[in-house]
Chains A and B, each alone.
Chain A
Amino acid sequence: MKAFTQHKGLVGPMDRANVDTDMIIPKQFLKSIKRSGFGPNLFDELRYMDEGQPGQDCSQRPVNPEFPLNLPRYRNASILLARKNFGCGSSREHAPWAMEDYGFRAVIAPSFADIFYNNCFKNGLLPVVLTEQQLDVLFTEMYADEGYQLTIDLVQQKVVRPNGESFGFEIDQFRKDCLIKGLDEIGLTLQSTQAIKDYEKTRAEQQPWVFGAIK
């Protein structure tokens, strides 16, 4: 997994609450058996005027001129500002895959849906939780200042504004470590192989019906 320590980048808006994963990547693109290539279809229904199909050349499609991320000033944005409950709905990891493939490295919102939040960390995408008031400040500054950039420092756990002031954020130690080091979580878990086997042994003695059921 791609490591994340510090990132400075252009900021773009998704200024609405409850952005769901169907909106982030519509279902027709979930037919792919690959992990990559979802970027051109990120926010597909909002971004284009027509209905997208898998495998299509998106460069030829009519874009929605009113969708903010289509504006030249937000092109190449790598940090997304969002509102509460971002990523609600389906568990599809295609949502963070699409965001990462598009070029986003971080999303800042007042809250995230649990599964989406969890999925981000598996893909080197950093979800940052700030307060609604702090988001209001960032949205205001971003709208006022074309080319607005933020620096997100995961090690120091802070979002640094252009004026040098910063907002601190909370993050689980385990998730932070994995992201900073770009760790293979499965490899890490398999270091506990003996503990897992011990657990299974005890459990099989207490609840034998749990084992061997599916065949």
Chain B
Amino acid sequence: MSQRTVYDKLWDSHLVKQNEDGSALLYIDRHILHEVTSPQAFEGLRLAGRKPWRLDTNLATPDHNISTDPNERAAGVAGIPDDTSRIQVQTLDDNCDHFGIKEFKMNEMGQGIVHVMGPELGATMPGLTVVCGDSHTATHGALACLAHGIGTSEVEHVLASQCLVTKKMKNMRVTVEGVLGVGVTPKDVVLAIIAEIGTAGGNGHAIEFAGSVFRDMSIEGRMTVCNMAIEAGARVGLVAVDEKTVDYCRGRKFMPKGEMFDKAAEYWRTLISDADAVFDTEVQMNGSEIAPQVSWGTSPEMVVPVTGNIPRVEDQTDAVKQKGVERALEYMGLEGGAPISSVAVDRVFIGSCTNSRIEDMRAAASVVKGHTVSKSIKQALVVPGSQMVKEQAEAEGLDKVFIQAGLDWREPGCSMCLAMNADKLGAGEHCASTSNRNFEGRQGNGGRTHLMSPEMAAAAAITGHIVDVREFTGDQS
């Protein structure tokens, strides 16, 4: 057999049928559902008189549309004040109960942001195909899965048939060699990659992240990177299996145990790209040169190193780019040419499926410890990614560190990443955010997002403006 990439191996092992018209039937091992993109799919099943193909593959939880306020959460689903939100969360509960789908309900241990929950419970395993009605499903690729987002019609398709009708993607490899500097995180690496290849750079591709930087990275760090593959246009991002992957999996709730685990691990270790495997597109970068990154504009490719300046319209090469930069500067209320570190921040958001895992909580806490949030900050939210992350963080006393520094410690959910609940920006407000999208209005109508790492967002909370965490001393200026 010819030399294959990890993606090729995952594709081949899930191929039910290759059709003559170029489409293929691909088997889906794991399907994660949440309240926002599933109701119409369940309704479709009902209308057609169909049932889920398999039950032991689906896992559901509410995350997008739930309050993170401890008091509101304590009131349960019936206490959700907004009618449409309450109906949506209740509908997920009802659908899961009706069809017999395993769900971690809103305040139940196990609940969390879908892409935090899947891996930490061991529902996501190496070698699986994982889908969810959410574009950040690529996160699970950190465990060498073929994982990607799907639309609601496909949610229904997978529920009904355990398959997707799809077409093989191209292979892209992004290799980052070298060693990351102090204060440079997985978030900075992925933002630098998006800045390099652009938001459409990965369209039609599955990206494998390779090289010493990813080998040295923790599994949670790899999740942060794979999570944002979609911001580079790729539905799939993944990292090959190594011993860290196997160690991460061991002992988790839904993982195989004992001899079965060893047998599984033996197979997982084959999920590496063969030495002579050919990639359609190759990108190489030097990790040692990456500085902490900050987005200045309204697209995740509009990123500069924290030491850099906001781009100027006149420096852009073509007319479409000039127009894009001009519009983004106007929306963001920024002046081209000014240093990015001069930008004052109104709110801080530490959370989202990109950066809400325990390592992110620890990193942010270590920066704010012993300092106080700047008086100019209206709100600084810390939203753990799951009940398990919250429990662990509280066991380590991180909640107290945040609260003492003046940050809000919240209940798990998607929160201000997409602002479907009450956590949102006001018009014109700037936010230091660890989330994944800085689109116009993403975090609230008229809101202005600056994407960055948890360390950088934590430092911005203390100083009141964007600051290089490598030079952060806690002084408020």
Any B CB within 8 A of the CB of A35: yes
Any B CB within 8 A of the CB of A164: no
Would you give the 0/1 interface string for B123-136, flagging 1 where the beta carbon is closer than 8 Å to chain A?
10101100001110
Residues of A within 8 A of B154 (CB): 118, 122
| A16 and B439 in contact, given A27-B419, A84-B200, A208-B260 (Cβ under 8 angstroms) | no
Q: How far is the CA of A19 from the CA of B324 in the complex (A)?
A: 11
Q: How far is the CA of A105 from the CA of B393 in the complex (A)?
A: 50
Ordered nearest first, which 9 A-B pairs have the shortest CB separation?
Answer: A122-B153, A33-B39, A209-B256, A93-B151, A174-B23, A119-B151, A91-B149, A173-B21, A85-B200
State whether A45 touches B441 (Cβ < 8 A).
yes
Would you give the 0/1 interface string for B438-450, flagging 1 where the beta carbon is closer than 8 Å to chain A?
0111100100000
**Overall SS of chain B's interface:** loop
State whether B203 touches A111 (Cβ < 8 A).
yes
State whether B199 touches A88 (Cβ < 8 A).
yes
Tell me which of A16, A35, A91 has the highest count of chain B C-beta atoms within 10 A of its own C-beta. Answer: A91
Tell me which of B21, B123, B441 has the highest count of chain A C-beta atoms within 10 A of its own C-beta. Answer: B441
Q: How far is the CA of A89 from the CA of B162 in the complex (A)?
A: 25
State whether B163 touches A196 (Cβ < 8 A).
yes
Interface residues of B (CB under 8 A from A): 16-17, 19, 21-23, 25, 27, 29-30, 36-37, 39-40, 43, 48, 50, 53, 55-59, 64-65, 82, 84-85, 87-88, 91, 102, 122-123, 125, 127-128, 133-135, 148-154, 156-157, 160-163, 165, 167, 199-200, 203-204, 230, 233-235, 254-256, 260-261, 263-264, 267, 299, 320, 323-324, 327, 418-420, 437, 439-442, 445
State whether B165 touches A185 (Cβ < 8 A).
yes
Q: How far is the CA of A111 from the CA of B233 in the complex (A)?
A: 11
Any B CB within 8 A of the CB of A62: no
Partner of B440, one of A45, A91, A174, A199: A45
Size bracket, chain A contacts = 35 or more
State whether B48 touches A186 (Cβ < 8 A).
yes
| A31 and B420 in contact, given A85-B199, A172-B23, A196-B25 (Cβ under 8 angstroms) | yes
Any B CB within 8 A of the CB of A18: yes
Interface residues of A (CB under 8 A from B): 16-18, 20, 22-23, 26-28, 30-35, 45, 51, 54-55, 83-85, 88-93, 96, 111, 113-115, 118-119, 122-123, 172-175, 177, 185-186, 188-190, 192, 195-196, 199-200, 203, 207-215
> Can you list 24 A-B contacts with CB-CB less than 8 angstroms, sorted by A residue number?
A17-B324, A23-B439, A31-B36, A32-B88, A33-B43, A85-B200, A85-B233, A89-B437, A90-B135, A92-B37, A174-B19, A174-B21, A186-B48, A186-B156, A189-B157, A189-B161, A190-B161, A192-B17, A196-B53, A207-B267, A209-B264, A210-B125, A212-B56, A213-B125
| A173 and B439 in contact, given A93-B152, A111-B200 (Cβ under 8 angstroms) | no
State whether A189 touches B165 (Cβ < 8 A).
yes
Partner of B199, one of A18, A34, A172, A192: A18
State whether B420 touches A28 (Cβ < 8 A).
yes
Q: How far is the CA of A98 from the CA of B36 in the complex (A)?
A: 15
Residues of B within 8 A of A90 (CB): 134-135, 418, 437
Partner of B21, one of A27, A83, A177, A185: A177
Q: How far is the CA of A212 from the CA of B418 in the complex (A)?
A: 34
State whether A33 touches B87 (Cβ < 8 A).
yes
State whether B37 touches A214 (Cβ < 8 A).
no
Residues of B within 8 A of A27 (CB): 418-420, 442
Residues of A within 8 A of B55 (CB): 214
Partner of B102, one of A45, A175, A214: A214
Q: How far is the CA of A199 from the CA of B26 in the complex (A)?
A: 10
Q: Which residue of chain B is the closest to A55 with respect to CB atoms? A: B84
| A91 and B134 in contact, given A31-B84, A172-B23 (Cβ under 8 angstroms) | yes
State whether B150 touches A113 (Cβ < 8 A).
no
